[in-house]
């Protein structure tokens, strides 16, 4: 099955700096890659996603890049703010039916004011 690895597990940045989180996946058939933000004790919320036929997508301060050949995708947050502090999860959709979501182990981002 699919295996999603995520790095780093923790990340601290100064407010205003950029943060980059990277994920790799193993199943070349995976075709959809969402990113979720989870605040402590709350549910995961989708912040951005990308399909396999697109190399990059941007939404204000957040961008995601996908390299299908290398099987890796990254989340980029620019001009970080304290409210960006949370755990971020990447995911890849694949599996036997193509409808399983495999999640990374998460990155705990702390933005220092």
Partner 1 sequence: GAGVSQTPSNKVTEKGKYVELRCDPISGHTALYWYRQSLGQGPEFLIYFQGTGAADDSGLPNDRFFAVRPEGSVSTLKIQRTERGDSAVYLCASSLTPVSTNEQFFGPGTRLTVL
Residues that bind partner 1 (CB under 8 A): 4, 6, 32, 34, 42-46, 49, 51, 89, 91, 95-97, 99-106
Instruction: Please say which residue, 14 or 40, places its beta carbon nearer to partner 1.
Output: 40
Closest distance of CB 14 from partner 1, Å: 25
Closest distance of CB 16 from partner 1, Å: 28
Instruction: Please say which residue, 15 or 59, places its beta carbon nearer to partner 1.
Output: 59
The CB density around residue 59, as the number of other CB atoms within 10 Å, is 10
Supply the DSSP symbol for 84: G
The whole-angstrom distance between residue 49's C-alpha and the CA centroid of its chain comes to: 8
How many Å apart are CA 64 and CA 33, to the nearest integer? 9
How many Å apart are CA 17 and CA 65, to the nearest integer? 19
Between strands 62-67 and 72-77, the pairing is antiparallel
Tally helices (H) and strands (E) across the chain: 0, 11
Closest distance of CB 15 from partner 1, Å: 25
Closest distance of CB 50 from partner 1, Å: 9
Instruction: Please say which residue, 18 or 105, places its beta carbon nearer to partner 1.
Output: 105
Instruction: Please say which residue, 49 or 72, places its beta carbon nearer to partner 1.
Output: 49
């Amino acid at each position: 099955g699919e295996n999603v690895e995520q790095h780093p597990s923790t990340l601290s940045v100064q407010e205003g700096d950029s943060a980059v989180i990277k994920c790799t996946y193993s199943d070349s058939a995976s075709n959809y890659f969402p990113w979720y933000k989870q605040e402590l004790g709350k549910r995961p919320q989708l912040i951005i996603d990308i399909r396999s036929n697109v190399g990059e997508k941007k939404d204000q301060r957040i961008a995601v890049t996908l390299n299908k050949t290398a099987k890796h995708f990254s989340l980029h947050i620019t001009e970080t703010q304290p409210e960006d502090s949370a755990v971020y999860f990447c995911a890849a959709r694949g599996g036997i039916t193509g409808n399983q979501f495999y999640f990374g182990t998460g990155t705990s981002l702390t933005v220092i004011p």
